[in-house]
Amino acid sequence: MANGPQKRVLAIHDISCVGKCSLTVALPIISAAGLEVPSLPTAVLSTHTGGFTGFTYRDLTEDMIPILEHWKSLGLQFDAIYTGFLGSFEQIDIVCKIIDEVGKNAKVFVDPVMGDAGKLYSVFPDNFPEGMKRLAHKADVLLPNMSEAAFLLGEEYRPGPYTEEYIESLLKRLSGLGPRKVVLTGVFFDDKKLGAACYDADTGKVSFTMAEKIPEYFHGTGDVFSSAIVSAVMNGLPLDRAVEIAVDFTHGSIMRTYRAGTDLRYGVNFEEGIPRFLKQLGL
């Protein structure tokens, strides 16, 4: 049970009304883990952009500074800031300013959401990765997938399978952009297992956590994974244990969805994995 005040984790992501990703994933998962989740929506979309056509897109860039100013007038400071999908290029610098002004003692988790399978999401301009480096620089924990890692480092995306040496080199170079801790998702060395690699610049330690690989693309799993990491770390668990728990939670969500045979564009069934996830967090 809680002792002391609840921690406040500011979540900065879009609301994709349908399709389970970003805020509709971050809010239930992090809240279930006992943390308060004030939210700053970056855009409102009728669905996410992956696999649907004709989606609506309301960019909320203009609201962000007035929202920040109101929060400052209330003297708010957050214990953590967790950023994901941003609604425009201009939001990159706005989010940096938010971190500076209401995250003075916050642990900063940056999921540099930009793309997958080597492609930028269709709504982002080509210079988006260059800007995202400024936000990555502010992260305590950076949470890219393999495509986002390549975009941030300005190198060509490799489809895999990978070698441990290549993954280690990516992790260390990503940490060189600023973050002391990096968790890379979509890591695989053969076609049987898929997982995450974790690097802590303070200990120099690299660790890998793998689970069974399912040969399909599951939407929203990056957000499920990152939300689980934020939940575990803000509950005081060490990052390598947080990664194990997040891999287990994400893999369970994928297996449940795969067995149900539902349309994969509508996201994974993470909800039914929440009780097991909370037990692993010791809650």
Residues that bind ligand PXL (CB under 6 A): 14, 16, 21-22, 45, 48-50, 85, 113, 121, 220, 222-223
CB of 201 to ligand PXL, least distance (A): 26
Of the two residues 71 and 109, which places its CB atom closer to ligand PXL in the complex?
Answer: 109
Q: Which is closer to ligand PXL, CB of 22 or CB of 237?
A: 22
Q: Nearest distance from residue 55's CB to ligand PXL, in Å?
A: 8
Q: Closest distance between ligand PXL and the C-beta of residue 87, in Å?
A: 9
Quick check: bond before 161 cis, omega within 30?
Answer: yes
Instruction: Taking each helix axis as running N to C, give the angle between helix 61-73 and helix 90-102, from 0 to 180 degrees, rounded to the nearest 10.
Output: 10
Residue 46 near residue 117, CB atoms below 8 Å: no
Nearer to ligand PXL, 48 or 138 (CB): 48
The least distance separating ligand PXL from the CB of residue 32, rounded to whole angstroms, comes to 19
Q: What angle do CA 7, 280, 162 make, to 5 degrees?
A: 100
* Smallest separation (angstroms) from ligand PXL to the CB of 116: 7
CB of 131 to ligand PXL, least distance (A): 17
- The smaller minimum CB distance to ligand PXL, of residues 49 and 209, is found at 49
Cβ neighbours of 236 (radius 10 Å): 10
Q: What is the torsion angle, in degrees rounded to the nearest 10, for the CA atoms of residue 4, residue 99, residue 85 and residue 43?
A: 90
- Cβ atoms of 109 and 80 within 8 Å: the answer is yes
C-beta of 21 vs 183, nearer to ligand PXL: 21
Of the two residues 135 and 237, which places its CB atom closer to ligand PXL in the complex? 135
**Residue 1 neighbours by CB distance under 10 Å:** 4
With respect to ligand PXL, which residue has the nearer C-beta, 41 or 71? 41
Residue burial 45-72, b: 16+ Cβ < 10 Å; e: rest:
bebbbbebeebeeebbeeebeeebeebe
Question: What minimum distance in Å lies between the beta carbon of 135 and ligand PXL?
Answer: 15
DSSP state of 188: -
Nearest partner of 234 among 37, 35, 12, judged by Cα: 35
Strand partners of residue 15: 44
Structure-token pair, residue 221:
């799993």
Q: Could you tell me where the DSSP H helices lie in 74-142?
A: 90-102, 128-137
- Widest pairwise Cα distance in the chain: 53
